[in-house]
Amino acid sequence: MAKVDSENYGELVKFFGQTKDTYVFNDETSVNGISILISVMKDMGLNPNVTEDLKKGFMHLFNIELINMPDLNRGRYIFTPNHVSDVDAPILGLLHRKMRIVSKNDWTNNEKLKGFLRLHYDLRGLDRTSLQSLRDLLTSSIAYFNDNKDDNRHFLVFSQGTISDFNNNSLERISTIAQKISEKTNVPIVNIFAEQVSLSYPTRIVFDEPMFLSKKDDFRKIWLEREKFLQDSLQPPARRPNLTTKHQNNNKPGDLYF
């Protein structure tokens, strides 16, 4: 499949350039971003209403290389990737037909995107400022695995909570909900390191080995250590994310946007 050189592709490059490389899709901006992506994929001869075509489009546009990915048709996993772009979830969520994604309510409650998202994704909305929303997420996530023990299904949660560079994160930036779900369901955790997606460079996504933790283990510390290990395992060296001012200043308590 050849790269497209169309007016829509030019608009896509321009659109992404306006947000550095985080490709932030918030509110109305998300509608515009998805609309441009769909137009580009049509230019590529793909049908964005077909999930497999959408996946092919993302993989091709962003030069995705999957490294050490487990067989998702054999087993169940809780994936805990780093988060450096609002395209992370749309790409990772297409790796398997049963991949539940923890998503901020900006996405799940966006009326103009609901049709598109429901067609291709299984989203579980979260209000990150609400303790009750977090409790409900934990309860529903445990049920997601324990009420359906006979099929292969997976769960995707961004432990950073929002876009940031884990190389600068404090422990307080990291959520432990993946560990809690794993303890209650006996489903292993798989860390993922993903380079920030790029239209110009290969985007490598490397998967860690599945792991189980005890209650005595500090998931936050282990997560940061494993992310750095995966990042350092790449040759040539991994590209560091190009983040907006907001996402450069949300790493620890006291930061402007924490």
For residue range 163-186, what is the model confidence (pLDDT) as tens digits?
Answer: 999 999 999 999 999 999 999 999
Determine the average pLDDT of the residues in 28-50: 89
- Considering the four listed CATH numbers 3.40.1620, 1.10.3470, 3.30.420, 3.40.1130, the one that applies to the domain covering 7-248 is 3.40.1130
**Would you state the pLDDT for residue 143?**
97
d(CA 102, CA 126): 7
Q: What is the per-residue pLDDT for 149?
A: 83
* pLDDT classification of 23: cutoffs 50, 70, 90: low
Which of these, 4, 6, 24, 26, lies nearest to 15 by C-alpha position? Answer: 24
Mean pLDDT, the chain, whole residue set: 92
- Summarize the chain as % helix, strand, coil (round to 5): 40, 15, 45
**Could you tell me the residue ranges of all domains in the chain?**
7-248
- Residues contacting residue 117 through CB under 8 Å, at least 6 positions apart: 107, 108, 110, 123
Beta strands 189-194 and 99-104, pairing class: unpaired
Mean pLDDT across 61-65: 95
In this structure, what token pair is assigned to residue 174? Answer: 């990291």
pLDDT classification of 110: cutoffs 50, 70, 90: confident
- CA nearest to 77, candidates 1, 165, 187, 151: 187
Whether pLDDT at 46 is above 70: yes
Q: Report the pLDDT value the prediction gives residue 102, as an integer from 0 to 100.
A: 97
Q: How far apart are CA 186 and CA 188, in angstroms?
A: 6
> Phi/psi at 52 (nearest 5 deg)?
-65, -35
| Mean predicted confidence (pLDDT) in 100-127 | 90
Measuring CA to CA, which residue among 69, 63, 74 is closest to residue 98?
Answer: 74
Distance CA 40, CA 15 (A): 12
pLDDT of 150 over the 90 cut? no
